[in-house]
Structure 1
């Protein structure tokens, strides 16, 4: 009787499965277990003390967590909508260009080449109240006679973070929408012009319904990025001043590493992931509706 052996396909996939389990599955299981314990970095033996879902119960009554969540939703709402509007305008300008369109597409992608850490340092310098480019430009133009504390005032700091996020990621919307505009058939546009439609009516009833699915794809990708925003905020304000710019993942990092409450931080992480999945599901539903509308009209 022949010795039992794994089928060749399973044998070939085994190294990848082992690596995946080592770097993804096992850390996920350990982090979930630690979320069920009062694990603190200063007390390693506390990871063996099971407390059930007590950390999760504390989260749902923790005002600090929900304030950070609301601020994350606020950042997500304003950043995504402004990025979509600016990306749409940028894509339409590039699509109408008769010369140098390839060069314009390359320049349009330029902000995406910077890492979030570098973007954070760049805008932290630009919004510096003493030597920053923004204040120097405003004072040189005579628009203000004193330095504006961009990163010290809570509202202005949140605005500065939003500007950095929009600058670095508007190109995502522009690229997807430009792809939709370039794939769009010209016959409906010509028919709209022949029927006497104004440019706004042509855009509202012909162009936008076609490129809407592309915009929703970009919105889904960017919603996941903004929901886990950390690098730019960490560099520019570190959640300050007085936690006025703290979002979910800066709160989780502070809870886990500064306060050493790793069990609570992991519980917050799983709640944040579930909320991100919920938002992604909502965007995918909107994407499915947009695709159905395109299929019905085109």
Structure 2
């Protein structure tokens, strides 16, 4: 009798636990459902629809959608404009990843060594990050202006007018102007990541190395730099993705010019899709850009994670 009552009580407890578990799952689904519906409507569905539109010649306006198969992708393979945009995208990405991370690391080391007003220096270096890309582009477009820009006026006043450069009008310098502008704006963001990594390094390690006779360069090479591997992985990955998607600076400063000198894959998607009313072709280009970003990101993470393990 006692065993029967104990078994019945255990079954009731198990039933109650199962009912509670099901209620928790139901509540969880109810909490997740609004966000899932929103994400599906504005991310998943447009993404899947983009794949469909990439096989059409839709102009983005008319109701008529004509399927043309892989013609958009075939056109890309024979387009010098696309290859030029791909070259600019890769050149811009490599330059920005290297320069932004070098400048950010140097700024982080500088701020970390400051003994007074550390918060002030941190805020000053981070301030450009807060600026809108559009605003920042207009400011630097004025600075680089050949006729009345700050650089040109300074050279005129010191008698070096022959050194003036038409930064935004010369195909040889326009991309460099974009790189300088973006490094100035983005380095402060990655500085914060490196600064967090530096402050996470135990000071006892550097003190012990100093006692053993290691100079500052040796301590940085054998202690600081290896222990910043995690921060570097995050910074390099974010800067690469940001560089591959760069748009604001190009739109405001050069509009892809002069000619096609600063046109990137992101910008050519905009120009083709909205300027030339070729949404089908623009969508196909955006899919290629998506695959490129995904492939580079995966390779980058794998290599950087391997470096972290080795260090």
2:60 is aligned to 41
For residue 40 of structure 2, the aligned residue among 12, 21, 24 is 21
For residues 116 and 178 of structure 2, the distance between their equivalents in structure 1, rounded to whole angstroms, comes to: 35
Deviation at residue 116 of structure 1 after TM alignment = 0.6
1:265 pairs with 2:282: yes
1:186 is aligned to 203
Contact 2:96–2:239 (Cα < 8 Å) also in 1? no
Deviation at residue 258 of structure 1 after TM alignment = 1.4
1:36-94 Cα deviation digits (max 9, x unpaired): 1111235440x2x2222221232233222122111111011112111111111111111
Alignment of 1:11-160 (within 5 A): 11-41=30-60, 43-45=62-64, 47=65, 49-145=66-162, 147-160=164-177
Deviation at residue 187 of structure 1 after TM alignment = 2.1
Contact 2:81–2:260 (Cα < 8 Å) also in 1? no
For residue 171 of structure 1, the aligned residue among 178, 184, 188 is 188
For residues 44 and 243 of structure 1, the distance between their equivalents in structure 2, rounded to whole angstroms, comes to: 32
For residue 231 of structure 2, the aligned residue among 197, 214, 231 is 214
Q: Rg larger in 1 or in 2?
A: 2
1:9 is aligned to 28
> What RMSD in Å do the two structures reach over aligned CA positions?
1.8
Deviation at residue 147 of structure 1 after TM alignment = 4.4
Deviation at residue 263 of structure 1 after TM alignment = 0.3
Task: Determine helix, strand or coil for the equivalent of 1:155.
Answer: coil
Structure 1: state its 5+ residue gaps.
none
Q: After TM superposition, where is structure 1 displaced by more than 6 Å over at least 4 residues in a row?
A: none
Deviation at residue 291 of structure 1 after TM alignment = 2.5
For residues 141 and 293 of structure 1, the distance between their equivalents in structure 2, rounded to whole angstroms, comes to: 52
1:251-298 Cα deviation digits (max 9, x unpaired): 11111111111101000001001101111112211331232134xxxx
1:237 is aligned to 254
Contact 1:130–1:147 (Cα < 8 Å) also in 2? no
For residues 105 and 146 of structure 1, the distance between their equivalents in structure 2, rounded to whole angstroms, comes to: 34
Q: TM-score w.r.t. structure 1 length? A: 0.91
Contact 1:213–1:290 (Cα < 8 Å) also in 2? no
Structure 2: state its 5+ residue gaps.
1-22
Deviation at residue 189 of structure 1 after TM alignment = 1.1
